[in-house]
Chain A
Amino acid sequence: MSGRIGRRVTTWVDDARGGLGAIFVEASVVVLILVIAIILSSIFLTVV
């Protein structure tokens, strides 16, 4: 029984780590796009 509970807890921990990693990647993508957008905005405001 304890082995089964242990395996289940391990699975949950792995899932939680995977989920947190995915959210971190999503946040990183938004930051990356924001940086690109600021560069584009600077260029457009300078040129226009």
Chain B
Amino acid sequence: MSALEEMLKYAIDPREFDDPEFQKDPFPLYERLREHHPIFHDRFHNRWVISRYWDIDAVFQDSEAYTRGVYKPGGDYEFGKRHVFGPNILEYGVGDEHRFMRNVVAGQFVGRKLDAFLPFIDLIAHELVDNFKEKGEVDLVSEFSNQFPIRVISNMLGLPREDEDMFVGWYQALIAGLGFGGEHLVRGLAARNEMWDYIEPLINQREKDPKDDLLSALVHAELGGRRQTMEEIKGFVALLLAAGGDTTDKAISNMWYHMMYTRPDQFADVKENPDLWTNVFTEMMRYDPVVHAQFRRTTKEIKLYNEVIPERDGVIIYLGAGNRDPRVFKDPDTFDIHRDDLHMGRENRSGRYKDGKPGHLGFGIGQHFCMGYAMARQEAIIGSTLLANSLKNFRPKFAEHEGITSPSIDSGGFRSPAELWVEFDVD
């Protein structure tokens, strides 16, 4: 092959990122990016693409050079006005304000606070399984994973249990809107507004009479004598639905998809040793995580390979590609819960582990490391263990499955199977 032919063979047409095939199976394009264009200037979408593991790590680690803060080109960004969720923590780049808001909530999702909530997480998992355990078959996506994390969040916030179904409805409408856009988005925004109307009096009530719940913590937290405004609190609650509900929801579906279709042989190992659910979770987060893409904006000129990214340019980092980097993981395209070259335990915000092994990139690293990581992991493992233990002879209902996909990888559309029908024996 001539040099020109070689070049053309691996050339990338930026329209490939909009191809439905990319949403279904992004990995061939990821490989071409990683191996032949480690920094790719996508002039069509006006952004730079980064895909190798250690380059992604470097972007995450340097939140001064690559910011997540938003602004309007040529002027100040009007905080919270353009975001679907309203004003929220992800709009802050770095600095005290982000750190403060993050700490208000992060503490709720780890350590003793989380431990105290585990029995309740377990209770909700049981309620859901009880709904279908006599039926002999179930769609795990709609009857379990789609319900479980959002019901947990509703209760962490301190909403009355009788309103939980309503909350689940708003959640489903908003998530469909974010994923599919168009008329779904119109319905999603209407649901968000309904939820905001519902929650406003509860926020006022927590203001006067705080309880031991997340909503009260959000209302009463102070930075330099300032509390969050009503808009900010409502924005945060909306963000929680997507960031805390939708991601964990899809993580559980993905784990079960891989156990049913990708590695049924390893599902047998997991049934024998439920401790391995932690490996299923971790390997899922590497092999095909829920979130594949993150955006940053440069705050200064950056040299990478033989390119120069100008200041204030957009950068997209494909965690989904970095996780399959053969420089880091052996046989990266094989789903293997027993792999010994991946840190299998709890994730760290630093992205570094004492066992010296690399971690998956699925939660991000650094300033914007997922603050619900410990809770997501616990929910996924508690829920999966319960399912596997309570339902006998668990098996896929259909021999074929269309697989995991996403409405739009680039717009943050989360990856998951649309449905996952399974069968089990009923005594």
Q: Do A and B share a complex?
A: no
Interface, chain B (partner A; CB < 8 A): none
Interface, chain A (partner B; CB < 8 A): none
